[in-house]
Amino acid sequence: MKLEDRVAIVTAAAGAGIGQAVARRFAEEGAQVVVSDAHARRAQDVAAKMSAEYGRPIPAFGVDVTQKDQVEAMVRATLERFGRVDILFNNAGINKLEPVWEMSDETWDLVLGVCLTGAFRVTRAVLPHMIAQRRGVIVSMASVAGWIASDAGQAHYCAAKAGVMAFTRSVAAECSRHGIRANAIAPGLIYNEFLSRIYPPDFFEKRKAEAPLGRLGEPADIANLALFLASDDSAYVTGEVFCVSGGAYVRG
């Protein structure tokens, strides 16, 4: 029970992929998890299932991380209920493929707003409380796209994820003296069933062949690293970005 009695907020926690896997991993290790997602009904459904599975009430909030008032209301409600926030997992993200010369301001603002500014807003909301308690951990989702240029209409996404990396290092530098650690995870392709509705089967076969470990990543691969970073096992780790790509990134 590495996170026993700690309070963890997980954004974008109600989908089929990384966020829900992390929320469940944290709950398995004893954390009081707060499920947040832009889809309020989906968040309520996931929280209800987790409450039944883990034998304790798990609150849920419909939160659009681009909306300051919604973010602050979630943090305020969490504090009212639990009295503290120990862990923040910034998972909210979005992408919409458009080449730079066709990209609208709206598309640019959407992707930067959710992926980067959203992480800033939730981090800003929890930091005063973490500083007051002299303890806290922030883990944010970056991507190998923050290192690797893309020719697939993802300039905004690459910029956002590179920004998450730089933001994470800055938070670590500013907040370490307050007992707060900040790290980021940069995954390659992490498979979940929803992706099969978007991409054809040969896409996944190609990506699998590119990975030296010979398989696609799974949400559990990220959740296990998130647990390490959120727990005292990583007490001397801050300001780092961890690549999880099955070795694919080191090839290119």
Q: Catalytic site residues?
A: 157
Look at strands 136-141 and 180-187 and give their pairing: parallel
Q: Please check whether residue 140 is in contact with residue 186, taking contact to mean a CB–CB distance below 8 angstroms.
A: no
Q: Please check whether residue 115 is in contact with residue 160, taking contact to mean a CB–CB distance below 8 angstroms.
A: yes
The β-bridge partners of 88 are: 9, 138
Closest CA to 74 of 55, 59, 58: 59
Q: Determine the Cα–Cα distance for residues 128 and 72; give it in Å rounded to an integer.
A: 12
Q: Please check whether residue 193 is in contact with residue 16, taking contact to mean a CB–CB distance below 8 angstroms.
A: yes
Q: Determine the Cα–Cα distance for residues 181 and 127; give it in Å rounded to an integer.
A: 11
Closest CA to 133 of 180, 96, 174: 180
The β-bridge partners of 16 are: none
Closest CA to 135 of 180, 182, 89, 79: 180
Other C-beta atoms lying within 10 Å of the C-beta of residue 23: 31
Q: Determine the Cα–Cα distance for residues 112 and 95; give it in Å rounded to an integer.
A: 9
